[in-house]
Amino acid sequence: MTHPEDWTSSSYSQNNGGECIEWAPKHAAETGVVRVRDSKDPSGPVLTLSPEGWAGLVEFARNSDA
């Protein structure tokens, strides 16, 4: 279980209230499961990814034209 202080904003999140995601790096290091959530809805659903899935998501964001 992650705690509020364990969530970190993604470096790809923007500070304009738009696309804001957070991930739980401590949880990932301890369990091998990467948890991702919408920072605007911290009590909402959490996406769980393998490290490979997380790397793919980061690569997608890096190459996105958004």
Domain boundaries, the chain: 4-63
* pLDDT, mean over the chain: 83
As a whole number, mean pLDDT of residues 33-52 equals: 93
How high is the pLDDT of residue 34? 95
* Residue ranges of E strands in the chain: 8-9, 21-23, 34-38, 46-49
As a whole number, mean pLDDT of residues 4-28 equals: 76
How high is the pLDDT of residue 66? 55
Greater model confidence, 24 or 1: 24
Q: List C-alpha distances in Å: 35 to 11, 25, 65.
A: 15, 8, 24
What predicted TM-score, i.e. pTM, was given to this entire model?
0.75
